[in-house]
A = this chain, B = another copy of it.
Amino acid sequence: MRLVGVGVGPGDPELVTVKGVRVLREADLVVVPVMDPSERGRAEATVRAHLDPDAAERISRLVFALDDRGGATAERLSAWEAAADAVAAHLRARGGTVAFATIGDPNIYSTFTYLADAVRERVPGVEVSTVPGITAMQDLAARSGTVLCEGTESLALLPLTAGVEAFERALSGFDSVVAYKGGRQMPALQEVLARHGRLEDAVYGAALGLPDEQVGPAAGAPDNAPYLSTVLVPARRTERGGKL
């Protein structure tokens, strides 16, 4: 019995790996997280782009909170418990391999971590593995033409849910800084960036690879940005060591 977390990238169906596609095709059941059972999430869209239409019956939607604002509320815990129960029930009844498609990478701020822990508790001996996926940070770097790090530069990645103060400390101590989940704290983020003279080079992105994609200067990011938004602050590179 196996549970595999497959990173399917930020939204563009082409940004899943060849291995990810193979594992999704070979799985006995492909679980996709949705916020609402009647809605097709972005992980599901990528899964469907690579599965034969007659394999659609192997896709199962599980309501699974992607949004961890406000910590582990009773409602969210209950959704996670129900998702783990469903996966555990399938594994006990039919064995085989369940693939969980997660946006981005399954080991970087992914709900797969919680699902895997909960399934391990329910199904002793289940083999858990992951297939890496492209993160929003990498996709935004590519789409905006931003070099994340080079030479001896350091990179800090953190969610704004950790607080704007943590972001400001990272800005002082690291060369390049990436903030996830900026959403409603965008004005505070812009204020910190302006104060450090870093607003001009910073890049903002949301809904990467989707029809409503937003990519542009962080200075122009909306005050109430989507929860799954990304801000890249590239290193200052006036004297680039390795440059030809």
Contacts and interface: CB of A to CB of B under 8 A. Distances in A.
Contacts of A72: 241-242
Contact of A17 (B16, B84, B128, B154): B16
Contact of A107 (B81, B129, B141, B157): B141
Contacts of A242: 68, 71-72, 113-114
A117 interface: yes
Interface stretch (A131-139, A190-198, A220-228): A131-139
Interface residues of A, number: 69
What is the predominant secondary structure among interface residues of chain A facing chain B? mixed
A166 interface: yes
A152 B162 CA distance: 5
Interface string A112-132: 011001100100000011111
Nearest to A173: B173
A238 to B, nearest CB: 14
Interface of A: 7, 9, 12-19, 21-22, 50, 68, 71-72, 77, 80-81, 84, 105-110, 113-114, 117-118, 121, 128-135, 138-139, 141-142, 145-159, 161-162, 166, 169-170, 173-174, 241-244
